[in-house]
Amino acid sequence: MSEKQSLPSFAVLQLSGCAGCEVSLINASEWVEKYQLVYMPLVVSTHAIPDDTEILLVSGGVRNDEDVYNLKRAVEVVDRVIAVGTCAISGGVANLGDRDDVRELFMAQADRHHLPHLLPKSHPVDAFVDVDLYLPGCPPTPELFMAALTGPENFKASSTVCGECGRKKLKDMRPKHLVGFQQGEVLPDICLINQGYLCVGSSTRGGCRAICTRPGHPCVGCRGPSDAYIEKTSDVWFERIQQVFERMTDIPPEEIRDALHSPQLSLFLFQFTDYMNGDRPSRPKEKVL
Amino acid sequence: MTTLRFPLSRIEGHARVEMEIQDGQVVKAQFQAIEMRGFRYFVQGTPAEQMPVITPRICGVCSTAHHVASVKALEDVFEVEPPELAKKIREILLLGQLIQNQATSLFIFTMPDRVGASSIFQMDNTEADPEQRLSLAQRALKVRQVGTHLITLAGGQFIHPVKAVIGGVTSGIKREGADEMLAELEEMLPVACELFDAYWEMSMSMKERIGTWGDDQPAYYIASTGQSRPELNSELIRVLGPDGVERASFRPHLFREYLDYQDTAYSYAGQTSYQGEVLRANSLARINLVNSMGTPCADGYLERLTSTFGKPAHPILLFDLCRGIELVYAFERTIEMLSNDLEYEDTAVPYKVKDGEGYGLVEAPRGPLIHHYTVRDGLIEDAEFIIPTVHNMLAIERALKVAGERYVTEEAISLELEKAVGRVVRAFDPCIACATQ
């Protein structure tokens, strides 16, 4: 036991989320011998984060008043805070709830006795506390988790998902329209944009090793914008995606624009708070893994 | 009156138990799910075709089940029938989910209870066999990773899969990938069995110590599975009476005729019953409803279970042992499936988006999961998620109350009560993220 106690310690605080980040962390089993896991209710029955814990990983969005309390209390006793996953950083898929047309319906459910009170909207973690490192992804891969824990400076990745995908871009295959979101037939080895899919891997942050696009699903941008766009407004990011499609396809620009800006946020479901409403400052790229 | 509140850990999501005690009696036991994100509401207006990517995010533990249920619901709306290959790939996906989940529940969630540890990572020093190259935790994690690798192989992304699509799947499984996976399955099956044997032993010792496999009375059981062997990707939900007689068998669109649903003021999750009777879903329900596992090792374990406890078996700690049987089954069944060709051309049929209503059913690790969508103008007008954990809510509360009675007297409340609460809840392996969405 004494040997284990000298290892660096970390805690995992799960706010309102799906536990996918935690499951990914469990998949990254290499930490078992290198770190001491002091708090993670999913796998450890300890009901408080011990004082002087070195690293706090926070996943999930801030959805209710108990989330706010637990988050603020947790950062008091740790040295370093890492925001993990798209919900903690950008609201994630659950932030689809931040729409006037459904908020009313949603809030009608909120006022129950004996239960944590739901906030009017979901918030990212850094709306309440300072974050030292952002680890976006839905969820981040085990490799990314290990990099965040052991040393982000040594992590090597392409700047975009496109750079890690390996599908060939063809000059003479120019679709005239976007195909449906998910039509079954996908040609192997050929760029999904050439096949008419609304893939945003060309400007989405790399590091995931293109785990969706390689098996044939368009990138939905869960890791957010690459370094080139992360400190800019969403317009610049959208414009860049638009340009890629104009260069590679004959799809009418309005069709792309509509798809990118659809109120139900076609593919940008993961980035809603940051990039559709634009009311939060951007994160400095040095702090994003 | 004394009110005790027990925070819960080693389960998926945020929940707690509240117990009221008066004159040595447990007068109330509530299971409170305390989070909600509102999937049912915020998916309204979403393009229907995006549901298979959005709904896995309901839960990172049960994501594969949501992915497949979502695709099946949309196929029901659009009236398309996927080719055989696609059905096989989806079954493999669900088997991957079963391996991952049952290994997590057995080794990470409940094994520590058998020896009084707070987590499997703390068990290493006391339980590791010095002859073993890898610690107990590492072996358990490796067994569970087999499920993750299988989901990655069949589903693309490793937590929130992407390869099941309306009308089929995006691709089959190449021989090379299948062979690599087979090698891993063959290597890890004996490790899984060895860990499960150890688990069974620890459970027997625990039973000796606490004096029971669970005091709760018999219940009804619900599962979507086959009669002669397990089926995870079937079209029928079955209900078994406490006496072992099958009471109902129905397709998912008829669930309202058989199941009653009610909300409560103290939890974001509701409760289901079958004609007013307490229902149980999850591993024990499936094992009680199926005649054999159809694979050699799993059938060996099943025989051991039935010869000891009969069939249907009712003590709630058997849920845990049944998970082990299913873990072994999922390994063996996947080996069977991957040995066949899974790489032919016909992976999907075309479809047209159209309006209507549809139901998608799968047997998730926690029981039958239904997605029910209404589509208008290609957008989701309403979505309903009928979650297996919700079927277990009344059973969990009844079992908590019964367990409480063992540890509460007029003189004192035993410290063992908190442990009993943990054991009872974990036997049902509830998923709060799913139950509340």
pLDDT in tens, B165-183: 899 998 889 999 999 999 9
Instruction: Tell me the CA distances in angstroms from B257 to B70, B249, B252, B274, B279, one per residue in order.
Output: 22, 11, 10, 10, 15
In terms of residue numbers, what domain contains B338?
A: 2-436
What is the rounded average pLDDT of the residues B37-58?
88
> Hey, what are B390's tokens?
């919700």
- Share the mean pLDDT of chain A: 86
- The total of other beta-carbon atoms located within 10 Å of residue B17's CB is 22
Q: Shortest CB distance from B162 goes to which of A37, A43, A217?
A: A217
Residue-wise pLDDT for A91-137, tens only, equals 778 777 667 776 777 677 766 667 888 887 788 899 999 999 999 99
Is the distance from CB of A212 to CB of B162 less than 8 angstroms?
yes
For β-strands B356-364 and B367-376, DSSP reports them as antiparallel
Q: Could you tell me the domains of chain A?
A: 2-154 (3.40.50.700), 157-279 (no CATH)
Q: Is B216 helix (H, G, I), strand (E, B) or coil?
A: coil
Q: Residue written as tokens 């990099």?
A: A147
User: Nearest C-alpha of chain A: how many angstroms from B243?
Assistant: 36
* pTM for this predicted structure: 0.94
Residue of B37, B170, B422 lying closest to A217 (CB–CB): B170
Higher-confidence position of A229 and B321: B321
- Please, what is the angle between helix A142-150 and helix A20-27, to 10°? 80
**What is the structure's pLDDT at A184?**
55
The C-alpha of A147 sits at a distance from chain B's nearest C-alpha, in angstroms, of 18
Nearest-by-CA chain B residue for A20: B60
List pLDDT tens digits, range B211-251: 999 989 999 999 999 999 999 999 999 999 999 999 999 99
Q: Which residue in B417, B212, B405, B394 sits closest to B317, CA to CA?
A: B212
Number of structural domains (chain B) is 1
Asked if residues B158 and B93 have their Cβ atoms less than 8 Å apart, the reply is: no
Prediction ipTM score: 0.91
Helical (H) or strand (E) element with B66: helix B63-78
Alpha-carbon gap, residue A163 to A171, rounded angstroms: 17
CA distance B38 to chain A (A): 6
CATH number reported for the structural domain that contains residue B160 in this entry: 1.10.645.10
Q: Which two tokens stand for residue A202?
A: 């060309």
* A75: closest CA of chain B, how far (Å): 20
Note the pLDDT of residue A175: 94
Residues of B in contact with A19 (CB under 8 A): 12-13, 59-61, 433
User: In this complex, which of B13, B142, B170 lies closest to A19 when CB atoms are compared?
Assistant: B13
- B156 and A217 in contact by Cβ < 8 A? yes
